[in-house]
Amino acid sequence: MHIPVLTIDGPSGAGKGTVSRLVAKKLGWNYLDSGSIYRSLAIALLKQSIDLTNEAEIINVAKAMMLEFECGDELVVKLNGEDITAQLALESTGNIASIVAALPAVRQVLLQKQKDFRQLPGLVADGRDMGTVVFPDAENKVFLTASAVKRAERRYKQLIEKGIDANLIDLTNEIEERDRRDMERKAAPLAMASDALYIDSSEMTINAVIEEVLNLIH
């Protein structure tokens, strides 16, 4: 049975999460936030005080991780039965996620966990390599980006709304550093699939982006 997939890749803070969630809701499709899988691994590593240079241990933790996703209005993620949703959004979690996401063996271990989300009636998958590596056969692909300054401003607003302390200059620096790490790594670097639609959301509202994505599907 063929299950349709829409992939939405791009750098952090481009609006992928919001757009993907709302498009999935409109279509009645499942939603994969692949970054949350890498972020969950980061939390598991912190909880077990694993040395981030110990690749063998990192892989063991990735293999043993039991993840549950509850997709309501907000995504709730449980790691080995414990609700880790609050820690997922932290910038420090994203930074550790991007360090371990550069390891090819880690990506290999987490590949099947991501493919498992492809269920009827369809899937919206958000990440860095959804259209290039995880679902290369997806019929609809989007590469969503925005300037680093705009992305930092959006992240700042999101964090403040969640009651998390943030500093705009630090955020811009962290976003640029994370972009560099994600684009320069050898394993599944952040890159636009050749058959993806490019959308720069710097000067667009979320609704305008959603409309453009839905037009692609219909």
**Which residues of this protein are in contact with ligand C5P, per CB under 6 A?**
12, 34-35, 38-39, 94, 97-98, 101, 127-129, 178, 182
| Closer CB to ligand C5P, 152 or 218, in the complex | 152
| Closer CB to ligand C5P, 39 or 154, in the complex | 39
Min dist CB 112 to ligand C5P, Å, is 14
Q: Which residues pair with 68 in a beta bridge?
A: 78
81: left (phi over 0), alpha (psi -120 to 50) or beta: left
Cβ neighbours, 10 Å, residue 71: 15
Distance CA 185, CA 181 (A): 6
Q: How far is CA 132 from the centre of its chain?
A: 14
Min dist CB 126 to ligand C5P, Å, is 7
DSSP one-letter code for 167: -
In our burial notation (b when 16+ CB lie closer than 10 A, e otherwise), range 30-45 reads bbbbbbbbbbbbbbbb
| Closer CB to ligand C5P, 35 or 215, in the complex | 35
| Closer CB to ligand C5P, 34 or 140, in the complex | 34
Min dist CB 139 to ligand C5P, Å, is 19
Min dist CB 60 to ligand C5P, Å, is 19
